[in-house]
Structure 1
Amino acid sequence: MQWIENFKDMYAKLDASNLDLLEQFYHPEAVFVDPFHRVQGLPQIKEYFAALYSNVEAISFNYNWQMADDSQVVIGWTMTYQHPRINRGKSVALEGVSRISLQDNLIIQHQDYFDGGSMLYEHLPVLGAAIRFVKGRMVAA
């Protein structure tokens, strides 16, 4: 499906300077949801991405698989990002899935599923050590 390839290309190019690219893919009333946020409407989605891209030093996606029909797209991905206050500024890789619902060939709902702890909390100095300890104890039990 060409739409999916165009969508993935858009995210490969997206940064804080070209957020207008989102207008080609998102419905004006679209909803975007991830484990940390829920925003509705294209202006709010653009604000969300502006804040996201202003805080990261680098971000990229590797797309692992996809499934689609005329109104739904599901894409598995690995996001790699660098943030100066997470993981001592080193790259972090995160596995996730995007579920996208389309209306008139525009995204009306985009929900990202990923482990928020793996993305953020496990890489913070004090909290990360505690989470890794608890996870290790759960595996050993």
Structure 2
Amino acid sequence: MNTQLPPCDPALRRLIDFYERLQPASLEQLPALYAPNARFKDPFNDIVGPAAIAGVFDHMFRSLSEPRFVVTAAVQQGDQAFLTWRFHFRFQRFDTTTVQTIHGATQLVFDAAGRVSLHRDYWDAAEELYEKLPGIGALMRWLKRRARQ
């Protein structure tokens, strides 16, 4: 649990604790945290419902080594919250020894029951992921340099 964060609403605290302790077995908790019609959107997914959200995280656990989230800040106003976070992991197929980090932010909207109805992740897939991949990483860095010229 991240004790650096200021006190927040119990629903938000439960969600932060869930993500900071996320393991494959904890995916069964998603229906208690997310509304039945909750929308989850990130650079790769736009899905609805706890079962579909569990599928995203199941894929993450099968594709990456030692994935973990660290929430670095939380701001809440009414039924909305905004988190900033770091996602640490190791690739399973490329550089398997280097711990990678993605920096991102999440917009959350809670329903009247305190469950998430909208979870929208914002992070730069080009800089935070593609540039770290063999082959495509060199191309992405080249394109970035060209765009600055």
Per the TM superposition, whether the score is higher than 0.5 is yes
**3-state DSSP of counterpart to 1:17:** helix
- Contact in 2 for aligned 1:121/1:128 (Cα 8 Å): yes
Q: 1:116 maps to what in 2? A: 125
1:27 partnered with 2:59: no
Among residues 20, 25, 31, which one is paired with 1:12 in the alignment? 20
Q: CA-atom RMSD, angstroms?
A: 1.5
The answer to whether the aligner puts 1:58 opposite 2:66 as a matched pair is yes
Tell me whether 23-32 or 60-69 shows the greater mean CA deviation: 60-69
Taking the aligned partners of 2:29 and 2:49, their CA distance within structure 1 comes to 15
Q: Which runs of 5+ in 1 are unaligned?
A: none
- Identity of paired residues, percent? 24
- Matched to 1:96, the amino acid is G
Partner of 1:138: 147
8 Å Cα contact 1:58/1:83 also seen in 2: no
Q: Do residues 125 (structure 1) and 112 (structure 2) align?
A: no
* 1:85 CA displacement: 2.5
Q: Could you tell me which residue of structure 1 aligns to residue 85 of structure 2?
A: 77
Q: Structure 2: which amino acid aligns with 1:28?
A: P
Alignment of 1:96 onto 2:104: yes
Q: For residue 39 of structure 1, give the secondary structure of its aligned residue in structure 2.
A: strand
Structure 1 residue 119, shift from structure 2 partner: 3.3
- Contact 1:14 1:21 (8 Å CA) reproduced: no
Give the whole-Å Cα distance in 2 for the aligned partners of 1:117 and 1:63.
22
Equivalent residue of 1:98, what SS? strand
CA offset at residue 137 of structure 1? 3.4
- In the alignment, the residues of structure 2 paired with residue 17 and residue 93 of structure 1 have an alpha-carbon distance, to the nearest angstrom, of 23
| Structure with more helix by fraction | 1
**What is the TM-score normalised by the length of structure 2?**
0.85
Whether 2:48 is the aligned partner of 1:40: answer: yes
TM value normalised by structure 1: 0.89
Q: Which ranges of structure 2 fall in alignment gaps of 5 or more residues?
A: 1-7
Paired residue type of 2:116: I
Contact 2:21/2:68 (8 A) holds in 1? no
**Equivalent AA in structure 1 for residue 133 of structure 2:** L
